[in-house]
Chains A and B, each alone.
Chain A
Amino acid sequence: MNKHLETEFINLLDKHQNLIHKVCRLYTNDEAAHKDLFQEISIQLWNAYPKFRGDAKFTTWAYRIGLNTAISLYRKKTKDIPTTSIDFSIHRFEYTEYNNEEEQQLKLMYQALQQLNDIEKALVFLYLEDKNYQEIAETLGISEVNARVKMNRIKTKLKQILNP
């Protein structure tokens, strides 16, 4: 692969790296795993980049590969220890702009997200990224109606986790 393509890719990934970080934050529980997944997604993006066509948005293409890597390709190197790792992940967030009550709600919400399975996390990710149901359905390979119904069920599940 030529140098020009490589520079172009690195610039794009650098510009949109927060998108990859968001995927990593949702699918990992500690810094080491976050870094590991970030690297794997970067490798997958780079390997697929020659086939990337400019007609699609780089971000659309990147979050699809990012989610696919997290869901289907990535293997955790060490076993998770949920109790300690969840605490760790919460401390990574900054809540300076939020008042105490909101801060607490956010903490609980992030904890609740950790209890969802890989596919449910992907749906929430796309929802948070403001994608419409057609795009969510296409990304996951399910029907649009079912994506909508599933998202409603996830909302109910999250409510139940927050208010048991």
Chain B
Amino acid sequence: MKELDLLKKHWNEQKDFPKVSKNEINKMIHKKSSSIVKWIFIISVIEFLILNLVSYFYSFKEEELILKGKPISFIVENIDYLSAAISVFFIILFYLNYKKISVADSTKKLIVQILKTKKTVNYYIYTNLVALAIVLIAVALSIIPWDSNELNISHTLVIIGAIIILLLIFVAIIWLYYKVVYGLLIKKLMKNYKELEKIDTDI
């Protein structure tokens, strides 16, 4: 392709770039990075903090409920420990994955590692959502009077309906949040990752 040969000749002769002085380079390298990885790190830390606060908040509520003696109370009573263990596990996993991100790796490996790091936080969020669902179901089961004499079908259906609506609202909020965050940060990475994958699968 003669145009490409011409471009190659011009490419190697290019010298019309603005000269950046050593002093300017020195100033530049001490500035803060605004890379996608940095934003992912900041957002992930905020997500960890918020979720830990939320789990602290809902652990408070359950203490006010009288669940003693009911089998389901075991899950609710121990969810604090479970939630703490899950948090520690995911934070360590996130940190280890984050440390593995190396800009000197191949492009594909770098993108995979960044996405893997972000996914660690996603799994943490999903786990919290499941934990929240367990607490809600446990609370509902404890409210419903199981004694057949007291069992009120319409009352029970209202409780179940309320829980389903509550869960759907949570899922909708998280979905919306991800649309925004992924739209801003991950879209470009996903697009380039798919392009690299396509090269190796299409050919």
> Which residues in A have some Cβ–Cβ distance to B below 8 Å?
6, 9-11, 13-14, 17-18, 21-22, 25, 38-40, 42-48, 51-52, 61, 64-65, 67-69, 71-75, 77, 92-94, 97-98, 102, 105-106, 108-110, 113, 117-120, 122, 127-130, 138-143, 145-147, 149-150, 155, 158-159, 162
The answer to whether A105 touches B111, judged by C-beta atoms less than 8 angstroms apart, is: no
Q: Decide: A61 near B104, CB < 8 A? Known: A22-B11, A162-B3.
A: yes
15 CB-based A-B contacts, threshold 8 Å: A18-B15, A22-B14, A25-B14, A43-B32, A47-B103, A73-B36, A92-B16, A109-B3, A109-B4, A113-B7, A130-B12, A140-B199, A146-B200, A150-B199, A162-B3
How far, in angstroms, from A65 to B29 measured CA to CA in the complex?
A: 14
Q: Decide: A142 near B29, CB < 8 A? Known: A75-B34, A122-B107.
A: no
Note all chain A residues with C-beta closer than 8 A to B111: 71-72
Interface-central residue, B25, B28, B114, B200, by most chain A CB under 10 Å = B25
Q: Decide: A40 near B11, CB < 8 A? Known: A72-B114, A141-B109.
A: no
Kindly supply a per-residue 1/0 record for chain B positions 37-59, scoring 1 wherever the CB is within 8 Å of any chain A CB and 0 otherwise.
10100000000000000000000
> Which residues in B have some Cβ–Cβ distance to A below 8 Å?
1, 3-4, 6-8, 10-22, 25-26, 28-29, 31-37, 39, 102-111, 114, 185, 188-189, 191-192, 195-196, 199-200, 203
Note all chain B residues with C-beta closer than 8 A to A61: 104
The answer to whether B3 touches A158, judged by C-beta atoms less than 8 angstroms apart, is: yes
Which residue of chain A has the shortest Cβ distance to B35 in the bound complex? A73
How far, in angstroms, from A69 to B107 measured CA to CA in the complex?
A: 9
Q: Decide: A73 near B104, CB < 8 A? Known: A11-B22, A117-B195, A128-B7.
A: no
Note all chain B residues with C-beta closer than 8 A to A69: 35, 103
Which residue of chain B has the shortest Cβ distance to A112 in the bound complex? B3
Note all chain A residues with C-beta closer than 8 A to B6: 102, 105-106, 109
- Which of these, B35, B196, B199, B203, contacts A40 with CB under 8 Å? B35
Given contacts A75-B39, A139-B106, 13 further A-B contacts (CB under 8 A): A17-B17, A17-B20, A43-B29, A68-B107, A71-B111, A71-B192, A72-B111, A102-B6, A105-B3, A109-B3, A127-B8, A130-B12, A141-B105
How far, in angstroms, from A92 to B10 measured CA to CA in the complex?
A: 13
- Which of these, B14, B102, B105, B203, contacts A149 with CB under 8 Å? B203
The answer to whether A38 touches B109, judged by C-beta atoms less than 8 angstroms apart, is: no
Which residue of chain A has the shortest Cβ distance to B38 in the bound complex? A73
Q: Decide: A43 near B107, CB < 8 A? Known: A109-B6, A118-B192, A128-B7.
A: no
